[in-house]
């Protein structure tokens, strides 16, 4: 059997750091990057007698995530303690929702070029983050600023079947947390963290294979690479007649391989039990409805409206909306153009790479891109010039219309202006003309290239082509 | 001045009529402390200088004609598991021997606001795990009524301080009986309030779902007065509940009426319940009947199950709550070892005592994956059963009259077995209110022929503190306060 006979079964556990004003169980601020241990109090330091009180904003954020992912919002949920010793946890336990999470049974839809699939979400639960250990040559220091910062853990069903799908799901989740405003979703700052559960099975099999968890992968790209290399490893083990063990592995970014951390037998017993310092979390239907109203227009809704208003394909609309900033950008830009389709093409091909995973700022002024789309749509500039202008606009902003005039970049659409250059081109490319007349269509390209060069790329290429054909066939 | 024969409301009157000053009262208390502390050992830390400063401030305020709360200027003591900023809070553990918290417990903050005078921090069983105060890492505490005997525990220091007059009142904490049992053995009044009525914030958690702060005083009215000063809603304790009784002192003044008192027959049929304890309780029952109460026999079946459930649940929570004492962030850190695991291992081995370790291990066992269902979960179910049983009982009863302990105080260094009891089951009668979150009041029922205090317990439904105080005050009014301990030098 070959690797192509196997399929990937992927489940994802995503940790989202919430940007509530205060920590989950005390009133300390949650600002990222503050000096070590400057955002701590007896509660998040777990000092004797300190008591946690749930910050209701965390519940509101969890409900938002639940609504956005079509989950059931449970009317009663509960916090448990996960007991373990590690210096990043001053209380020696993590407060989390083990048995009764706040959101259950949801899904998100993921569109790829092949179509749209549902990835189910089994649960979303609230928990707290741990501190950070800073290792250096003289020893280890502990920064407790992050202790008690609220997290949501979003657990998917094992529904994704490819690395692309897993990444598309992650992009979707990131869009959701950004759309709802509950998190920055920045992987490089750790506000979006991902564990991958991967097993393989022969295509057509019902039963799941042995599951391996790959911990803490910190970019979409690495998620895809980790899945592929782990998939290959698992298939190789099976093909070699070996058996897989249930274990936790880590992905090494340098080698691109996964390495075993601990097997299931070594897994600690966290001695979960209901946190007796906290009361059950109760949510009323009215609260859920009130929160539903505060949720900004979400990706899927925007997607549908773009498809209808601008005749976009599902794939185009999905790509536009998977990043909230890009979608916002599009909405601002589209208001300044009469050529939305053109705008979408330029945005998706030339501008989208500049919307990186970890920035929330626009890479350029959306109004300028709207104007640029008009220039293209009105045939005032050609796509060559358009691409050059986008590049320049990503550097710094200017008015494309004025710039085109000033630098005489306007597309030459005037036959009388082009006529002498066309004649010269036909005369100078005798051989190409012969080839063309001999039935070789592609020979035309050399003649068009000649005209474009002579006009510094400003000629309307379609018009040039037409005029050359006319000139030759005359 | 003979402050020891006065109740707090009388002392408060004396301060206001300028019969004596708070400084004089405070100095008198410290004289008692100096004379008796070498024998009794009620305190871990004395706060003499702070006390005088606080007393002087009260005297000044009173001389300005300021109206002050009832407890102003009255010297009291706090169990040393209640956080006091700038004053070490040891929990009677080597682990926290030098720990000075940067925050005040809610109860200490409200008492400070009411201008009380702090005499000091009292001894306890390490982290409040124990029955005799002998597991304190520092020293034992002796029973003021017989210095060869234990004062009870874990709030033994607070009980002994109040019984001896080394404090006019004290706060204890009660997880499974740690206020009521030492109150009974040391001849004072101890209240375990409705769970949540007094904030736990700043009180070292042993078992969060069971721990409650409670007042320990010589008289019932003193006790109501102190509870009045403590029972405030605290938004920073998720389990805090608002009081439903305007004033517990005033509740005592309501007409006695014809309350229905349940008499749990099975409790009195236990073999290990000594006649010394049984007799005064029967007399109390007859007394209540004589003043208009209706006594109804009730059938409580869950007492034995309470024992197992209590030890499993409290140890499970204790395990989790005490894991933070690991030598990493604060508290004692061992010098030994190389690795992180060594640091945990040695710091905890050296810093924690045997009884605490025993409870941690029990909790660790009960919560493990293999045992969770059979131990923790089953105990949680038992707890629900007990709550139902008591709720059912209180449909027809206003209160239950029960023993506190099976025996009076036993000798230091021995166990209740010596007196026919059992180390862990001797005070099982205090467990149902703990598990149900219902209030229970221990008051002196009398002295044995040998002069040892015997307590009795009045248990009521949630928020029935007013009723319990009223019943207790009727008994106290008819029988008087216990005579002061003869051994104590005044």
Clarify whether B154 is annotated catalytic.
yes
Is the domain defined by A415-473 classed in CATH 3.40.190.10?
no
Sign of the Cα torsion A35, A39, A44, A47 reads positive
Q: Is the pLDDT of residue B421 over 70?
A: no
Backbone angles phi, psi at A102, to 5 degrees: -75, -30
Listed residue (B431, B399, B447, B481) closest to B181, CA to CA: B431
Give residues 362 to 391 of A whose Cβ lies within 8 Å of B. none
Please check whether residue B211 lies inside any domain of the structure: yes
List the single residue in A51, A92, A271 with the smallest CB-CB distance to B236.
Answer: A51
Give the count of alpha carbons within 13 A of A76, CB side only: 3
The Cα of B411 is separated from the nearest Cα of chain A by a number of Å equal to 32
Question: Would you say residue B340 lies in a domain?
Answer: no
Query: 10 Å Cβ neighbour count for B432?
Result: 27
pLDDT at A188 over 90: no
How many structural domains are present in chain B? Answer: 1
The answer, for A85 touching chain B at a CB cutoff of 8 Å, is yes
- Whether chain A has a CB inside 8 Å of the CB on B102: the answer is yes
Active site residue B425: no
Nearest CA in chain B to A280: B238
Integer Cα distance of A111 and A117 in angstroms:
6
Out of A210-214, B90-94, B123-127, B268-272, pick the least confident.
Answer: B268-272
- Supply the range of the domain harboring residue B149: 3-255+465-479
Contact B269, B297 (CB under 8 A): no
Strands B260-264 and B399-403 turn out to be parallel
B201 and A50: CB-CB below 8 Å? Answer: yes
H-only helix segments in A351-414 = 366-377, 383-395, 400-406
Alpha-carbon Rg for chain A in angstroms? 28
| Mean of pLDDT values over A407-414 | 84
Q: Where are the domains of chain A?
A: 3-290, 297-406, 415-473
Q: How many percent of chain B have pLDDT more than 70?
A: 99
User: Closest Cα to residue A466, out of A448, A449, A439?
Assistant: A448
- The answer to whether the CB atoms of B208 and A273 lie below 8 A apart is no
More confident residue, A54 or B270: A54
pLDDT at A379: 86
Compare CB distances from B101 to A47, A51, A278 and report the shortest one's residue: A47
Q: Are B456 and B403 in contact (CB under 8 A)?
A: yes
C-alpha closest to that of A164 among A87, A110, A90, A96: A110
B19 in a structural domain: yes
Tell me which chain A residue has its CA closest to the CA of residue B319. Answer: A83
Which of A45, A46, A271 faces B364 most closely, judged by CB atoms? A271
Contact A46 B105 (CB under 8 A): no
Pick the residue from chain A with its C-alpha nearest to B321.
A91
Spatial CB neighbours of B450, under 8 Å, sequence gap ≥ 6: B146, B408
Q: Which two tokens stand for residue A415?
A: 């036959």
Cα A346 to Cα B304: distance, rounded to the nearest angstrom: 78
> From B366, which residue of chain A is nearest by alpha-carbon distance?
A271
Q: Is A142 on the interface with B (CB under 8 A)?
A: yes
Whether residue A243 is predicted with pLDDT greater than 80 in this model: the reply is yes
**How far is it, in rounded angstroms, from Cα A454 to Cα A430?**
17
**Inter-chain Cβ pairs, chain A and chain B, closer than 8 A:** 100
Task: Say if B40 falls within a structural domain.
Answer: yes
Q: Chain B: nearest CA to A269, how far in angstroms?
A: 7
Assess whether B158 carries a catalytic annotation.
no
Distances (CA, A) of A78 to A97, A101, A329, B248, B440: 6, 7, 40, 34, 29
* Cβ–Cβ < 8 Å for B240, B252: no
* Position A372 pLDDT exceeds 70: yes
Q: Name residue B443's beta-bridge partners.
A: B456
pLDDT of residue A359: 65
Q: Please choose, from the candidates A261, A208, A220, A188, the residue with its C-alpha nearest in 3D space to the C-alpha of residue A17.
A: A188
Q: Which of A43, A46, A51 to mutate to test the interface with B (most CBs of B within 10 A)?
A: A51
Lowest mean pLDDT among A147-161, A345-359, B315-329, B459-473: A345-359
pLDDT surpasses 70 at A358: no
- The tens digit of pLDDT for each residue in B180-206 reads 999 999 999 999 999 999 999 999 999
- Nearest one of B470, B448, B405 to B220, comparing CA atoms: B470
Q: How many residues does chain A have?
A: 474
Q: Are B181 and A28 in contact (CB under 8 A)?
A: no
- Chain A residues closer than 8 Å to B203 by CB: 49
- The beta strand positions in B36-116, using DSSP E, are 43-46, 75-79
Closest by Cβ to B205, choosing from A42, A49, A83:
A49
Q: Is the peptide bond before A13 cis (omega within 30 degrees of 0)?
A: no
The token pair at B166 is 């080394």
CA of A328, closest CA in chain B: separation in Å?
A: 40
Asked if the structure places residue B246 within a domain, the reply is yes
Residue A88 to chain B, least CA–CA distance (Å) = 10
The reply to whether residue B101 touches residue A279, judged by beta carbons under 8 angstroms, is no
**Residue of chain A with shortest Cα separation from B368:** A271
- For residues B211 and B193, give the distance between their C-alpha atoms in angstroms, rounded to a whole number: 10
Cα B167 to Cα B225: distance, rounded to the nearest angstrom = 15
Q: Alpha-carbon distance A408 to A459, whole Å?
A: 12
* Contact yes or no for B372 and A81 at CB 8 A: no
For residue A357, the model assigns a pLDDT of: 65
Q: What letter does residue B166 receive in the DSSP assignment?
A: S
d(CA B33, CA B37): 5
Asked whether the predicted pLDDT for residue B424 surpasses 80, the reply is no
The answer to whether B324 contacts A46, with C-beta atoms less than 8 Å apart, is: yes
B153-166 pLDDT tens trace: 999 999 999 999 99
pLDDT at res. B453: 98
The residue from B21, B22, B79, B379 that is catalytic is: B79
- What does DSSP assign to residue A276? T
pTM metric for this prediction: 0.88
Where does the pLDDT of residue B407 fall: very low under 50, low under 70, confident under 90, or very high at 90 and above? very high
Helix (H) or strand (E) holding A281: strand A281-282
Each residue of A88-131: pLDDT tens digit? 999 999 999 999 999 999 999 887 767 789 999 999 999 999 99
Which of the following is catalytic: B22, B93, B164, B178? B178
Whether A53 and B103 lie within 8 Å, measured CB to CB: no
DSSP code for B409: P
Average pLDDT, chain A: 91
Q: Which two tokens stand for residue B386?
A: 């007990």
**A395-414: average pLDDT:** 87
Which of B82, B96, B376 is opposite residue A273, by nearest beta carbon? B376
Do residues B348 and B358 touch, judged by C-beta distance below 8 A? no
Instruction: Please tell me which residue of chain B has the smallest CA distance to A272.
Output: B367
Q: Is the dihedral of CA B387, B388, B392, B393 positive or negative?
A: negative
Nearest to A104 by CA among A75, A79, A127, A61: A75
CATH number of the domain that B135 lies in? 3.90.1300.10
Calpha distance A153→A128 (Å, rounded): 10
* C-alpha to C-alpha distance for A29 and A370, rounded to whole angstroms: 40
User: Looking at the complex, does the CB of residue A51 fall below 8 Å from at least one CB of chain B?
Assistant: yes
B101 C-beta neighbours (distance < 10 Å), count? 23
In a domain, B334, yes or no: no
- The answer to whether position B161 is within a domain reads yes
B485 DSSP assignment: P
pLDDT of residue A335: 92
Q: Does B236 touch chain A (CB under 8 A)?
A: yes
What proportion of chain A, given as a percentage, has pLDDT over 90? Answer: 62
B146 assigned to some structural domain: yes
Instruction: Answer whether A303's CB lies under 8 Å from A316's CB.
Output: no
Q: How large is the average pLDDT for residues B427-431?
A: 93
Separation between Cα atoms, residue A37 and residue A44, nearest integer Å: 11
| Two structure tokens written together for B292 | 């208009």
């Amino acid at each position: 059997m070959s690797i192509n006979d196997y399929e990937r079964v992927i489940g994802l556990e995503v940790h989202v750091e919430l940007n509530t004003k205060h920590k989950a169980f005390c009133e300390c601020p949650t600002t990222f990057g503050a000096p070590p241990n400057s955002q701590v109090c007896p509660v998040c330091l777990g000092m004797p007698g300190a008591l946690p009180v749930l910050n209701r904003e965390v519940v509101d954020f969890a409900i938002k995530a639940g609504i956005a992912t079509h989950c059931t919002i449970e009317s009663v949920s509960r916090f448990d303690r996960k007991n373990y010793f590690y210096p990043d946890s001053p209380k020696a336990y993590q407060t989390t929702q083990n048995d009764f999470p706040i959101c259950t049974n949801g899904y998100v839809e993921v569109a790829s070029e092949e179509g749209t699939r549902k990835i189910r979400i089994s649960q979303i639960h609230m928990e707290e983050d741990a501190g950070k250990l800073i290792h250096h040559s003289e020893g280890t220091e502990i920064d407790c600023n992050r202790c008690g910062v609220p997290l949501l853990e979003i657990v998917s069903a094992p529904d994704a079947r490819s690395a692309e799908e897993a990444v598309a799901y992650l992009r979707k989740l990131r869009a959701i947390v950004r759309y709802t405003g509950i998190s920055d979703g920045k992987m490089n700052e750790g506000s979006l963290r991902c564990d991958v559960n991967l097993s393989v099975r022969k295509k057509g099999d019902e039963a799941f294979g042995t599951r391996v968890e790959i911990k803490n992968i910190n970019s979409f790209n690495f998620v895809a690479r980790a899945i592929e290399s782990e998939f290959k490893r698992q298939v190789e083990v099976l093909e070699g007649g070996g058996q897989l063990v249930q274990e936790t592995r880590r992905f090494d970014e340098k080698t691109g391989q996964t390495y075993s951390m601990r097997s299931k037998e070594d897994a600690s017993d966290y001695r979960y039990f209901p946190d007796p310092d906290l009361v059950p979390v109760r949510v009323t239907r009215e609260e859920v409805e009130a929160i539903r109203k505060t949720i900004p227009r979400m990706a899927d809704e925007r997607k549908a409206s773009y498809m209808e208003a601008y005749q976009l394909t599902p794939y185009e609309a999905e790509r536009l909306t998977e990043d909230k900033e890009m979608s916002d950008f599009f909405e601002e830009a589209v208001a300044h153009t009469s050529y939305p389709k053109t705008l979408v093409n330029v945005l998706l091909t030339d501008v989208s790479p500049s919307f990186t995973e970890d920035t929330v700022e626009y890479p350029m002024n959306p109004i300028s891109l709207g104007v640029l789309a008009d220039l293209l749509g009105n045939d005032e500039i050609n796509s060559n010039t358009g691409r050059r202008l986008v590049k320049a606009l990503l550097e710094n902003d200017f008015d494309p219309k004025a710039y085109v005039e000033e630098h005489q970049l306007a597309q030459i659409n005037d036959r009388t202006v082009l006529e002498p250059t066309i004649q010269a081109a036909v005369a100078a490319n005798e051989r190409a003309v012969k080839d063309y007349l001999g039935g070789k269509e592609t020979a035309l390209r050399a003649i068009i290239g000649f005209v474009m060069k002579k006009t510094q790329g400003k000629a309307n290429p379609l018009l040039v082509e037409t005029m050359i054909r006319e000139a030759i066939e005359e | 001045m003979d402050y020891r024969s006065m109740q707090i409301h009388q002392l408060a009157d004396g301060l206001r009529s300028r019969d004596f000053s708070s400084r004089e009262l405070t100095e008198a208390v410290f004289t008692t402390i100096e004379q008796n502390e070498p024998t009794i050992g009620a305190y871990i830390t004395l706060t003499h200088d702070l006390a005088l400063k606080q007393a002087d401030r009260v005297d000044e305020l009173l001389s300005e004609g300021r109206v002050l709360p009832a407890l102003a200027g009255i010297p009291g003591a706090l169990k040393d598991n209640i956080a006091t900023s700038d004053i070490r809070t040891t929990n009677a553990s080597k682990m926290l021997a030098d720990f000075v918290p940067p925050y005040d417990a809610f109860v200490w903050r409200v008492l400070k606001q009411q201008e009380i005078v702090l005499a000091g921090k009292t001894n306890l069983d390490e982290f409040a795990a124990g029955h005799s105060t002998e597991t304190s890492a520092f020293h034992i505490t002796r029973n003021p009524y017989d210095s060869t005997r234990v004062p009870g525990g874990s709030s033994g220091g607070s009980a002994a301080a109040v019984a001896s007059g080394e404090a006019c009142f004290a706060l204890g904490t009660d997880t499974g009986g740690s206020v009521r049992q030492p109150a009974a053995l040391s001849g004072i009044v101890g209240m375990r309030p409705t769970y949540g009525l007094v904030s736990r914030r700043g009180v070292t958690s042993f078992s969060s779902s069971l721990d409650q702060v409670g007042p320990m005083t010589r008289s019932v009215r003193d006790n109501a007065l102190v509870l009045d000063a403590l029972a405030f809603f605290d938004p920073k304790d998720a389990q805090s509940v608002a009081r439903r009784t305007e004033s517990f002192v005033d509740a005592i003044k309501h007409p006695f009426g014809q309350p229905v008192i349940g008499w749990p027959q099975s409790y009195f049929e236990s073999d290990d319940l000594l006649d010394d304890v049984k007799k005064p309780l029967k007399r109390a029952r007859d007394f209540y009947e004589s003043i208009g109460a209706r006594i109804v026999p009730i059938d409580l079946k869950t007492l034995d199950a309470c024992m197992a459930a209590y030890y499993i649940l409290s140890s499970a929570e204790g395990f989790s709550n005490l894991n933070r004492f690991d030598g990493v962030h604060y508290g004692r850190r061992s010098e030994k070892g190389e690795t992180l695991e060594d640091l945990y291992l040695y710091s905890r081995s050296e810093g924690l005592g045997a009884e605490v370790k025993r409870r941690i291990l029990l909790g660790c066992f009960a919560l493990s994956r293999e045992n969770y269902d059979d131990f923790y979960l089953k105990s949680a179910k038992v707890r629900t059963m007990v709550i139902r049983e008591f709720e059912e009982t209180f449909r027809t009863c206003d209160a239950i009259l029960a023993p506190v302990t099976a025996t009076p105080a036993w000798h230091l260094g021995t166990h209740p077995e010596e007196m026919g009891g059992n180390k862990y089951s001797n005070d099982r009668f205090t467990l149902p209110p703990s598990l149900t979150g219902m209030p229970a009041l221990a008051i002196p029922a009398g002295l044995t022929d040998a002069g040892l205090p015997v307590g009795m317990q009045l248990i009521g439904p949630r928020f029935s503190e007013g009723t319990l105080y009223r019943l207790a005050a009727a008994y106290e009014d008819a029988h008087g306060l216990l005579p002061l301990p003869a051994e104590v030098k005044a």
